[in-house]
Amino acid sequence: MKIVCEKEKILKAINSVTKAVASKTTMPILEGILIQTNDKEVKLTTYDLEIGIEYIIDADIKEQGATVVNAIMFSEIIRKLPDTDINISLNEKNLLVIECEGSLYKLATMNPDEFPELPQINVENSISIEQNSLKEMIRKTIFAVSTEENRPIFTGCLFEIKNNKLNVVAVDGFRLAWKSKFLQNNSNDFTAVIPGRTLNEVNKIILDSFDTIKIGVAKNQALFEMENCKIVTRLLDGEFLNYSSVIPENWETRVRVNRNNVQNCFERISLISSSSIEKEKKYPVKVSIDIGKVTISCTNQTGDAKEEMYVSTEGQNLEAGFNPKYFLDALRAIDDEEIFVDFGTSISPCIIRPVEDGDYIYMILPIRLKD
């Protein structure tokens, strides 16, 4: 194997595929990048048995071949080389030789025949969506994915295609985030629960552009395809929450408020709520709503804090307790200037939604306040 390629191209490929390199494994081969030549292209592949990523770049192929090299060592060397063409070859001792200007490195390699093949996915249903739209949908939901392994189904996002509309839903038992978008091309109805870890990595690879990405699903696998990159992942098994049945349709109390103002209040008040001496105790913030005014307060061993805002309110006066982090996660994900915050009772879910965007809803369960 002997190739010459631009540093910028191969570094972009390396940065994408290293997201599927196994970190804790008894199989050293999974810590490597499979490098294969094919005519005038080089394909880089990584696979940790859950996520697999392939990335293809153009290169000047002097001699065909394949090898596996440790991903961390290879990526660090390439990253620190000068910004020019890099010569990569396999010598007679099966060492990977990397040459660039005055730099010369030789790395041990592994047998490419031992590298596990990525699953072959016979796509049953698929959609195409602009990469910037998918990026926004992931960003506005992924933070509500559960990190608790005792309910694996909630460690992923539901992708539901219904009536030519994509709904992405995340839930962790305390909150729910839902974002939807109509698709430009006709598609069959189907559902799939994609691991949150996969979506985090997809989000890092896709561009904030109008280029499309194709998402295909089979029985237990999903495939993300872009122009020169392919990502395969397992799907999560189990029954996802019937989310539409738990989102309240009506409200008793509604607040219309500037998102930035309420976010600043919660950020300041969380300095007190999260700094308790008794780290194991969770102190909620109290949200009190009167006519034209919202008061956010917290009291614990660290001290007291109170924030008041004069806002537009409708409906009943109310008091309820909330985890401020859950409020902040939603407020940071919303781009709109004004939001509605809708309440039922002090023990029923609270809904946050942008005033202008009807395609995003975030729901939080309250925490009971002690008398």
Q: Of the given ranges (40-49, 190-199, 213-222, 277-286), which has the lowest mean pLDDT? A: 277-286
The CA distances from residue 250 to 167, 177, 214, 315, 346, in Å, are 21, 18, 37, 12, 14
Residue 214 has pLDDT above 50, yes or no: yes
215 contact partners, CB below 8 Å, separation of at least 6: 126, 127, 128, 129, 134, 159, 222, 223, 224, 225
What is the average pLDDT score of the chain? 94
Burial of 92 (0-12, 13-18, 19+ CB in 10 A): exposed
What is the phi/psi pair of residue 343, to 5°? Answer: -125, 150
Collapsing DSSP states into helix, strand and coil, what is residue 345? coil
Q: Which of 154, 145, 204, 144 is nearest to 330 (CA)?
A: 144
Q: Of the given ranges (41-45, 75-79, 298-302), which has the lowest mean pLDDT? A: 298-302
Q: Alpha-carbon distance 255 to 209, whole Å? A: 35
- In tens, the pLDDT along 101-139 reads 999 999 999 999 999 999 999 999 999 999 999 999 999
Tokens of 286: 């109290």
Q: How confident is the model at residue 51 (pLDDT cuts 50, 70, 90)?
A: very high
| Whether the Cβ atoms of residue 214 and residue 231 lie closer than 8 Å to each other | no
74-92 mean pLDDT: 96
| Whether the Cβ atoms of residue 166 and residue 181 lie closer than 8 Å to each other | yes
Collapsing DSSP states into helix, strand and coil, what is residue 333? helix
Q: Which of 370, 316, 369 is nearest to 343 (CA)?
A: 316
Relative to beta strand 109-110, strand 125-130 is: unpaired
Q: Alpha-carbon distance 40 to 251, whole Å? A: 61
Q: How confident is the model at residue 300 (pLDDT cuts 50, 70, 90)?
A: confident
Tokens of 271: 């300095």
Q: Alpha-carbon distance 159 to 145, whole Å? A: 13
Q: Which of 7, 2, 13 is nearest to 86 (CA)?
A: 7
In this chain, the answer to whether the domains covering 2-114 and 125-244 adopt an identical fold is yes
Amino acid at 336: D
Q: How confident is the model at residue 277 (pLDDT cuts 50, 70, 90)?
A: very low
The CA distances from residue 112 to 66, 72, 137, 334, in Å, are 6, 17, 37, 46
Residue 276 has pLDDT above 70, yes or no: no
Q: Alpha-carbon distance 234 to 166, whole Å? A: 20
Give 318's DSSP letter.
E
CB atoms near residue 228 (< 10 Å) = 16
- In tens, the pLDDT along 143-193 reads 999 998 889 999 999 999 999 999 999 999 999 999 999 999 899 999 999
- State residue 121's pLDDT score: 93
Q: Which of 356, 351, 354, 327 is nearest to 341 (CA)?
A: 351
- State residue 314's pLDDT score: 96
Q: Of the given ranges (6-15, 271-280, 361-370), which has the lowest mean pLDDT? A: 271-280
Residue 214: in which H helix or E strand, if any?
strand 212-217
Q: What architecture does CATH give domain 2-114?
A: Roll (3.10)
| Whether the Cβ atoms of residue 235 and residue 224 lie closer than 8 Å to each other | no
Query: Count of residues for the chain?
Result: 371
- State residue 275's pLDDT score: 60
Answer yes or no: CATH 2.60.40.10 is held by domain 247-364.
no
Residue 215 has pLDDT above 70, yes or no: yes
Give 115's DSSP letter.
S
- In tens, the pLDDT along 310-336 reads 999 999 999 999 999 999 999 999 999
Collapsing DSSP states into helix, strand and coil, what is residue 58? strand
Q: What architecture does CATH give domain 125-244?
A: Roll (3.10)
| Whether the Cβ atoms of residue 3 and residue 41 lie closer than 8 Å to each other | no
Spell out the domain ranges in the chain.
2-114, 125-244, 247-364
- State residue 280's pLDDT score: 46
- In tens, the pLDDT along 254-263 reads 999 999 999 9
- State residue 281's pLDDT score: 52
Q: Alpha-carbon distance 309 to 290, whole Å? A: 11
Question: For the chain, how are helix, strand and coil distributed in percent, rounded to 5?
Answer: 25, 45, 35
- State residue 164's pLDDT score: 95
Tokens of 220: 């237990």
Query: Considering the entire predicted model, what is its pTM?
Result: 0.92
